[in-house]
Amino acid sequence: MTSCLHSQPKFLSHPFDDDKLKEECGVFGVIGVADAANFVALGMHALQHRGQEAGGIIVHDAEKGFNSAHRFGYVRDNFTKASLMETLPGSLAIGHVRYSTAGSKAAAIRDVQPFFGEFSMGGAAIAHNGNLTNADALRRELIERGAIFQSSSDSECIIHLMASSIQKAHAKRIADALRRVEGAFSVVAMTRTKLIGVRDPLGVRPLVLGRIGETGYVLSSETCGLDIIGAQFVREIEPGEMVVIQDGVVETSRPFGPSKGRFCIFEHVYFSRPDSLIGGRSVYETRHQIGVELAREAPIEADLVCPVPDSGTPAAIGFSQELGIPFALGITRNQYMGRTFIEPTEHIRNMGVRLKLNVNRALIKGKRVILVDDSVVRGTTSRKIKDMILDAGAAEVHFRIASPPTSWPCFYGVDTPNRDKLLAANMTEEEMRAWIGVDSLKFISLDGLYRAAGESGGRNNACPQYCDACFSGEYPIAPQDQIDKGFEMKAAE
């Protein structure tokens, strides 16, 4: 632990893709445009990589009031149907794409956001990206005080905290509620007339503001959500900031007082889309620079540099260019994989990676191959990919990983295995290399990752610039619910 510890007042995992950290969620909101739900659906489609389990939209229309639609599955399969979208009129709407990080994994439709509540001053809805680390304690307290929960989601706590607030205005009730929660949250909310966005004091999860037309505004988890609807990027919502948008005017406040950001560094590595901007910096360029730093730290003689599709591609290009080793697409992804099309028996499960990825045998045969991937979680997929490369006749297989070893679980909105399932938590780097069965295995250092993300001096160990708990074990917000269940945090150094 460091002195920077802060205290703050689906689908089921795919049987063929269970060796990646799962995206959190995506939030999107639009105000001041006709048929706002259509814009929200497009934004949700752009954010689909952040959650593929389910999605929902809530709208408000001056004549028809609040309406909503919540569906399992992809945005394209649900929110592109005219028959559905016609039921969602209005110039104000918010949406959410979900991957379950808290609550039931075999989710019921009642777990799908946005959530709605009817208050004395009128209805309000919220969509939340992140994870509340004191949700269990809050839920117990709220139930003892008479609250009746409809879902298993931690996000529903916010609605009940709003209901119990004595504040008169919706925005103040939201601020009141969020002062009670701990953890990570980027919230997009709406009333009958206002669109509201809030980030937690550390700004762990992303949220950006855009403008569309003369009076329209947009809130989105990533800038790629703005691009798809032709909105102009205005700025990022700052850590600990609340914006309230009404009648073409944006008002800002700081309900949590002064704060210093600790943005999730894994957004740079994997979660965000490569065409998004973070802190004014292209995610693609950061990932390219990760490859450059990795090549400087862990060079190797080889014939080809091949990415593990698709998130390893920018880093592989940077690695290739830095060492002057040819870049090649030695592995091809089946873009139509989707959900399993055949009963996942044990035999089919063992074929899973081959159903999703295929090796270019003519390119690989006889070559010394460097595979660049974004991370190693359990390591099971890495072993299978290594076997495929060797079966194709490769002379050598080397892994280079575009993130440090993932040794600790995330409690801020990423679905991470328990620590005993994380390969790097239980093996040294050499033991991991031997277990995967490759000729060499190297990870970028934490300092190298920070340099690639724009911190030329590397990581400030006294007070890190990013949240990197999944690598360092240093949690900027104590995960109290998990501690109460027996989770042991890293001892102070």
Residue 79 main-chain phi, psi, to 5 deg: -95, 25
Q: Which amino acid is at 493?
A: E
Contacts of residue 403, defined as CB under 8 A and 6 or more positions apart, other chains included, come to 266, 269, 270, 290, 374, 375, 443, 444, 449, 471
Residues 25, 224, 410, 467: which is the catalytic one?
Answer: 25
Compute CA 17 distance to the chain's CA centroid, rounded to the nearest angstrom.
16
Active site residue 470: no
Residue 12 is classified by DSSP as: P
Distances (CA, A) of 332 to 329, 338, 357, 358, 476: 7, 15, 6, 5, 39
Distances (CA, A) of 293 to 27, 315, 400: 32, 9, 11
CB 78 within 8 A of CB 40: no
| Coil vs helix vs strand at 97 | strand
| Coil vs helix vs strand at 473 | coil
Distance CA 64, CA 67 (A): 8
Strands 216-220 and 232-236: unpaired
By C-alpha distance, which of 267, 266, 284, 298 is closest to 471?
266
Active site residues: 25
